[in-house]
Amino acid sequence: MTKMTAAIPARKPLSPKSANRAPRKHRMHAAERRQHLIATALHLFATRGFRGTTTKAIAAAAGISEAVIFRHFRAKEDLYVAILREKARQDGYTDMMEIVQGCAQRDDDAGVIRQLALTILERFKQDPDFHRMMMYAALEEPELGRIGKRIFGLRLSEFLREYVARRQQAGAFRKGDPALLAFSIMALPLHFAMVTRVFGIKRINGSNRSLADTFTSILLAGLHSHKSPA
């Protein structure tokens, strides 16, 4: 008995035109192109500085013409602002504020400080380029630094100042300028993250959670009043 074999469909021979044709490049939609430009500009701003990066250099790195950039952004400054807004969205800034505010409503001082410290440490670990870019921009163009503060820091600074003032009135925190004490809460983890992640100085061993716990203990020891609340 003769064995039956499954028929294999014959392949159509490639025509010379199709054989020599290069694979089509993926054509980005407007939203994809915008995200690509933001990522490219972020890397260049972080490595060359804001002044040292031209729109021509961004276009070359992104593989597009300079004119394409101006279809999405009026100027280089607008591209910088777009980076900040996109980063705030990606990092869940609003979600973080809700967690911290929840701790504040329970008068959970350790929870407030630990969450802030952990968030700072994690963000610098995940994206040191972004924070390097912000440092460059603030040094080169003070107005860009103020824009960064409005997007990221203003709401948080106001919240911390009001929280510290309320805890002072309750007798839980020591006396002093609430704004200065609020600044100290942010300064310790920020300075540590900047030195280790942006400047590259050797990092102290320990997970971000253990570091956040240590910073919380140090800060609470300085913030808490020696008097018991009335």
Show me where the domains of the chain are located.
Answer: 30-85, 91-223
Eight-state DSSP code of residue 39 = H
CATH fold, domain 91-223, is Tetracycline Repressor; domain 2 (1.10.357)
- For 174, phi then psi, to 5°, come to -65, 160
DSSP alpha helix (H) spans, the chain: 16-19, 30-48, 55-62, 66-72, 76-90, 93-105, 109-126, 128-140, 142-148, 154-169, 178-193, 208-223
Concatenated DSSP letters of 69-134? HHHH-SSHHHHHHHHHHHHHHHTTHHHHHHHHHHHHHTT-HHHHHHHHHHHHHHHHHH-HHHHHHH
pLDDT band at 1 (very low <50, low <70, confident <90, very high): very low
19-23, 86-90, 107-111, 218-222: least confident range: 19-23
pLDDT band at 153 (very low <50, low <70, confident <90, very high): low
73: left (phi over 0), alpha (psi -120 to 50) or beta: beta
> What pLDDT is attached to residue 12?
43
What the block records as the tokens of 155 is 């709401």
The model carries a pTM of 0.75
CATH class, 30-85 region: mainly alpha
> What pLDDT is attached to residue 14?
37
- Judged against a pLDDT cut of 70, whether residue 93 lies above it is answered with yes
In the beta sheet, which residues pair with residue 224? 173
- pLDDT 10s digits, 178-202: 999 999 999 999 999 999 988 888 7
Burial class (CB in 10 A: 0-12, 13-18, 19+), 18: exposed
In the beta sheet, which residues pair with residue 173? 224
Q: What number is the average pLDDT over the span 25-53?
A: 87
- Judged against a pLDDT cut of 80, whether residue 128 lies above it is answered with yes
